[in-house]
Amino acid sequence: MPFESTSSLKFALVATEAPEAQESVAAFRSRYEPVPIAEADVLVAIGGDGTMLEALHVALPLGIPVYRMNQGSLGFLL
């Protein structure tokens, strides 16, 4: 996908319940308005490796890219 202004991209969120991740979710929502995953151009995964795997599992059939914000304890995959 070519670069586009973030104002035209629609974001969806997948996040863990960890307090650090939920703080990031709140910050994200204060700046952007998330949409349902089926309507998104990009899926943002906030959490650890398990959250990333969950996001990839959801995004792959939809053909949307996943951006990860590491808020997990290990970060082994990325």
Which residues are part of the catalytic machinery? 49
- Give CA 12 to chain center in angstroms: 6
Q: Counting Cβ atoms within 10 Å, is residue 14 exposed (0-12), middle (13-18) or buried (19+)? A: buried
How buried is residue 71: exposed, middle or buried, by Cβ count under 10 Å (0-12/13-18/19+)?
Answer: buried
